[in-house]
Amino acid sequence: MVTAIYPGTFDPITNGHADIAERAACMFEKVIVAVVDSSSKKTLFNINERVVLASNVLSEIKNIEVISFNSLVTDLARDKNAKVIVRGIRAVSDFDYEFQMAGMNRQLISDIETVFLTPAENLSFITSSLVREISSFSGDVGQFVHASVSIALKEKHQK
């Protein structure tokens, strides 16, 4: 059984993220969507909220598990016996950074592979930061995120 890890901040999870996770779930027996609890990034949603949102969005996909983590992704891969790290790439600008990360991860754990997936063309421009910004100005983000995420964003910005 091949287990893959799809790590990210997911602040919030977008339709692009969900597309990558769903397609990874078709490729691997198990996909762990690993929500990083990073202190280096200022997030709108706390770690528990991000895990709940991702779990809600991906609940229909039976071979996906959503967890939080606060370590190197290679340590998580070793702990979960994962052999693949899934990364989404929207544009060429993403590739340079992701290529460097893949090389570094392979130095840290030699038997890990990184698989790059691109989202569907109609989702390739969506970023969590743009979704947060649009939402902060009461813009409609319904076409970019799951309904539950749209509601959570509205509630967060009303506070």
Structural domains in the chain plus CATH codes: 3-158 (3.40.50.620)
Nearest to 88 by CA among 126, 52, 134: 126
Task: Name the pLDDT band for 157 (thresholds 50, 70, 90).
Answer: confident
Nearest-CA neighbor of 117 among 11, 12, 2, 31?
31
* Per-residue pLDDT reduced to its tens digit, 61-100: 999 999 999 999 999 999 999 999 999 998 888 888 999 9
- Residues taking part in catalysis: 17, 41, 90, 128
Return the pLDDT at 93.
80
pLDDT, tens digit, for every residue of 100-137?
999 999 999 999 999 999 999 899 889 999 999 999 99
pLDDT (tens digit, 9 = 90+) per residue, 16-41? 999 999 999 999 999 999 999 976 77
Q: Residue 90: what pLDDT?
A: 86
* pTM recorded for the entire structure: 0.94
**97 Cβ contact partners less than 8 Å away, ≥ 6 residues apart:** none
